[in-house]
Chains A and B, each alone.
Chain A
């Protein structure tokens, strides 16, 4: 960057300094040099805050899922509008950064759980139960991913359950045990990783943008049963 002329005695016309820029800088000439330094540091300080606040907010928004219109039921959260053209800028940014293709709303809806019903983060070293019934849908799948959305390696190569595979109780409800050790019944292995997430996808379902939070749609409970 070119430095401004040192004193007023040096006319700006004597240099190739553009006239517009010279008139902006000329205001500072009458001020003592100490103020100039303070102004410079003050501006730098503000810009630093701006960068930290702006980029920090973007990072948190994208890693926490800040899209509007979240549908929260118990531990489960879905963003129905993310699968439509009305996806808001936060949803679009998250889709672009993660590299995933969202489930289109006409196809189905994905609910995600990263904690149990009490808000405790899902821990792959604990036994977690997913119990109950699901809203009406032609099919659903329950899949375990790590926090980056990748499948988790395990000894039996089971990454998910579909609604047809699941063993149900007499009343039609089901229980899936998510944990590191083999369990009788529906066992979804965690591979012992520390943090994971569960994705419950409903295909060909009426649950969508018009669904209100509340009791009208039953979702399975997520409970941490035992931790070593």
Chain B
């Protein structure tokens, strides 16, 4: 009797370890997470508009159908990125995710306070390596530090009613995400 109790409690204890291990390992092994789904669709360092979710087809679950959205899949290994998003009529937001789909920063049109959301995205190391004086002249520049080298930027504009969807889509189309060096050369 005691033997069976020992075996059962041992099994349950081991089960707890199995449970915790699977929970922790799952994000590392997931092949159908948002980043993997968007990898096939979005080339690196460019803004790609996402098709509207419909009952038949949606890239990700739980997408808000009231929004026009676009994705920039970034890779900072070649240097910092510059992101420019024109602001639409109603509500525009830019959310930053790591390559494990964890949101680490978000900004909306009102907190950006201009006609366009403009910011620089870099890793912590790249931020530290920035020349001091450049940091000063860049005081009015918004700098976002990415905890990972690769990740996702989700750009979304609200269409308060369906008739405004084309306008929201147009605003998203004007969004740019490119390497800072390339952006400078273009100026």
* Chain A interface residues (CB < 8 Å from chain B): 42, 45-55, 57-58, 61, 83-85, 87, 89-90, 92-93, 95-108, 110, 138-139, 141, 143, 145, 148-153, 159-160, 162-165, 199, 201, 203-204
Contacts and interface: CB of A to CB of B under 8 A. Distances in A.
| Interface residues of B, dominant DSSP | mixed
A61 B102 CA distance: 19
Contacts of B66: 141, 143, 160, 162
29 contacts: A46-B14, A49-B7, A53-B14, A53-B15, A53-B18, A54-B19, A58-B18, A58-B22, A61-B19, A84-B104, A85-B147, A93-B23, A95-B27, A99-B34, A99-B36, A100-B61, A100-B101, A101-B97, A101-B101, A102-B101, A104-B104, A105-B103, A106-B105, A107-B108, A139-B158, A141-B66, A141-B158, A150-B58, A153-B55
Contact of B58 (A55, A104, A151): A151
Given A96-B33, A99-B34, A47 B14 contact: yes
Interface in B16-62: 16-24, 26-27, 30, 32-34, 36-37, 53-56, 58, 60-62
Nearest to A99: B32
Interface residues of B, number: 63
Contact of A84 (B8, B60, B101, B103): B103
A54 B17 contact: yes
A56 B20 CA distance: 12
A90 B15 CA distance: 17
Contacts, number: 201
Closest 3 CB pairs of A and B: A54-B18, A53-B15, A49-B11
A48 B11 contact: yes
Interface string B68-104: 0000000000000000000000110101110011111
B11 A96 contact: no
A91 to B, nearest CB: 9
Interface of B: 3, 7-8, 10-24, 26-27, 30, 32-34, 36-37, 53-56, 58, 60-66, 90-91, 93, 95-97, 100-108, 110-111, 147, 152, 154, 156, 158-161
Given A100-B61, A203-B108, 16 more contacts: A46-B14, A48-B11, A49-B15, A50-B17, A53-B11, A83-B103, A92-B27, A92-B102, A101-B60, A101-B95, A101-B152, A101-B154, A107-B93, A107-B95, A145-B62, A149-B62
Given A96-B27, A104-B103, A162 B18 contact: no
